[in-house]
Amino acid sequence: MDIGYARVSTAKQDLARQLDALAAAGVDPAHIHVDKKSGATTDRPGLQAALIDARAGDVLVVHTLDRLGRTVRDTLNLVHELKERGVGIRTMADPLAIDTSEPDGPMSQLAFVMLALFGQMERTYAAERAAHARAVATANGRRTGRPTVVDADKLEHASMLRDRGFSMREIIVKTGLKRTTLYRHLPPRSPNNDLGNRQTG
């Protein structure tokens, strides 16, 4: 029996293409398991259900090999575990065909190792590119990550309170803004301001 597994990294991504491919390959929808989880997490109940469902002689069918493991080692360990149980793995869309249900096929085994390595290399390169982009942005004085939406009126009020000598704790209480937000968004204090005296008038 063929058992299908499909995964996307976030809840906003669509599983339709993988599910359509599994259906076209003849996998019974009752035996298709899905996850909307990053491959970096071990909490993938769909994959666990697929592994529990698999019996000796079955084949686990996936769109591409990178749907299965977090790393090359994880993927190799999973294939070894399934092989010990008599369960094969077949991919549908990888550029090199993989079907470990034919253990005597040397090209299938070679393709599996190469694709696992290429997938790991791409994840490594992507992480390096992202880290480099963040470093360049930081060096150029640009913030990275999601933009923070701050109430302009509250920020103006906080700036006024700070210039009048209120402590950061008092400003937090009066404005409801977080300390990290205040440190990030408040403009520099005027050098002419007397920091030691609170001006209440």
- Residue 56's SS3 state is coil
In this predicted structure, what is the pLDDT of residue 136?
77
For the record, the structure tokens of 7 come out as 């995964």
If one counts every other C-beta atom within 10 angstroms of the C-beta of residue 123, the result is: 16
Entry field: residues in the chain: 201
pTM, 2 dp: 0.55
For the record, the structure tokens of 128 come out as 């390096």
| Closest to 27 in 3D by CA, of 18, 39, 36 | 18
Q: What secondary structure does DSSP assign to 77-112, as a single string? A: HHHHHHHHTT-EEEESS-SS--BTTSTT-HHHHHHH
Show the domains of the chain with their CATH numbers. Answer: 2-125 (3.40.50.1390), 147-201 (1.10.10)
In this predicted structure, what is the pLDDT of residue 37?
77
Half-sphere CA count of 68, side-chain side, radius 13 A: 25
Round to whole Å and give the CA distance between 17 and 117: 24
The residues annotated with a catalytic role in the active site are 9
- Which residues 6+ apart lie within 8 Å of 139 measured at CB? none
In this predicted structure, what is the pLDDT of residue 147?
56
User: pLDDT tens digits for the chain (201 residues)?
Assistant: 999 999 988 778 889 999 999 999 999 999 999 998 775 667 789 999 999 999 999 999 999 888 887 677 777 788 878 888 999 888 888 877 678 776 566 656 666 666 667 666 666 767 777 777 777 777 776 665 555 567 777 888 888 888 888 888 888 888 888 888 888 777 666 555 544 444 444
If one counts every other C-beta atom within 10 angstroms of the C-beta of residue 50, the result is: 25
In this predicted structure, what is the pLDDT of residue 200?
44
